Amino acid sequence: MADVLKIGIAEWKQTTAPNRLRTAGLGSCVGVILYDTRLQLAAMAHVMLPDSTIARKNQTIEVGKYADTAIDALVHSLKREGATRLQAKMAGGAQMFQFKYENEAMRIGERNAEAIRQALKVHRIPLVAEDCGGHNGRTIEFDVATSVLSIRTVSVGTKEL
């Protein structure tokens, strides 16, 4: 019997087939999945912010909260389990609010997605599919056995990557 592991905001989890990984409430946040199809092993993070350097000093960093620390944690954990052929998929990064003046600080979704792309490049992990941007929230679920990412977008519908 397969379990569905739910990942909350700023969290990350890892599992094997036949389990699934799910996160909801992806607005400007990005859900990123790293997986090894040979081992049927995967990890998902619900990334809120692009860079951990904005965290206050003396603050305990939630590694799943930031793109840089989340990718590092997922890579380290999956490799510890023997993963050698990692791939990635991601979804989210919407611009949830319309502003008259596009301020760089307000483009969190776009910045989150770009930070994840950069972190994946550093680790030489191919991003094989993504569904980022737009103005609607998403819920995603990754099937570890099939490597299919189901994306349910508010007011749009469901698709698979």
Residues that are catalytic: 29
CB of 36 closer than 8 Å to CB of 20: no
Number of H helices, E strands in the chain: 2, 10
Q: How many CB atoms lie within 10 A of CB 25?
A: 13
Rounded to whole angstroms, how far apart are CA atoms 78 and 94? Answer: 28
- E strand or H helix at 112: helix 108-122
| Residue with tokens 């792309």, as numbered in its chain | 117
